[in-house]
Amino acid sequence: MISILRSIWITFLHAFHKRETRGYPEKKPYLPPRYRGRIVLTRDPDGKERCVACNLCAAACPVDCIALQSTEDGDGRRYPEFFRINFSRCIYCGLCEEACPTYAIQLIPDFEMAEYDRQNLVYEKEHLLINGQGKYPGYNFYRVAGVNMGVKDTGAGENEDPPVDLKSLIH
Partner 1 sequence: MKYVFIIAGVLLIVLTIAAGLIYVERRLLALFQDRYGPNRVGPLGLLQVIADVIKIFFKEDWIPPFADKRVFIMAPGILVGSILLTFAVIPFTDTFIVLDSNIALLFFLGNSSLGVYSIVLGGWASNNKYSLLGSIRGSAQMLTYEVFMGLSLVGVVMMADSFSLREIVEAQRGGWFFLPQFVGFVIFFIAGLAETHRTPFDIPEAEGELVAGYHSEYSGMKFGMFFVGEYMGVTLISALIATLFFGGWLGPGFLPPAFWFFFKTGFFICMFILIRASLPRPRYDQLMEVGWKVLLPLVLLNILITGAVIIY
Task: State the residues that interact with partner 1 by CB under 8 A.
Answer: 4, 7-8, 10-12, 14-15, 17-21, 23
Q: Residue 98 in 3-state DSSP?
A: helix
3 state SS of 31: coil
Closer of 2 and 170 to partner 1 (Cβ): 2
Query: How wide is the angle at C-alpha 131 spanned by C-alphas 121 and 154, nearest 5°?
Result: 115
Using the minimum distance from each CB to partner 1, give the nearer residue, 28 or 152.
Answer: 28
Nearest to 71 by CA among 60, 82, 79: 79
Number of CB atoms found within 10 A of residue 62's CB = 10
Nearest distance in Å: CB 10, partner 1? 7
Comparison of 11 and 119: residue with beta carbon closer to partner 1: 11
Closer CB to partner 1, residue 19 or residue 171?
19
Report the distance separating Cα 164 and Cα 109, nearest Å.
30
Q: How far is the CB of 41 from partner 1 (least distance, A)?
A: 37
The C-alpha angle with vertex 159 and arms to 154 and 165, in degrees rounded to 5, equals 45
- Our CB check for partner 1 shows the closer of 22 and 167 to be 22
Task: Find the shortest distance in angstroms from Cβ 1 to partner 1.
Answer: 10
Q: What are the φ and ψ backbone dihedral angles of 71, each rounded to 5 degrees? A: -150, 175
- Least CB distance from residue 9 to partner 1, whole Å? 8
- Check if the beta carbon of residue 37 is closer than 8 Å to that of residue 111: yes
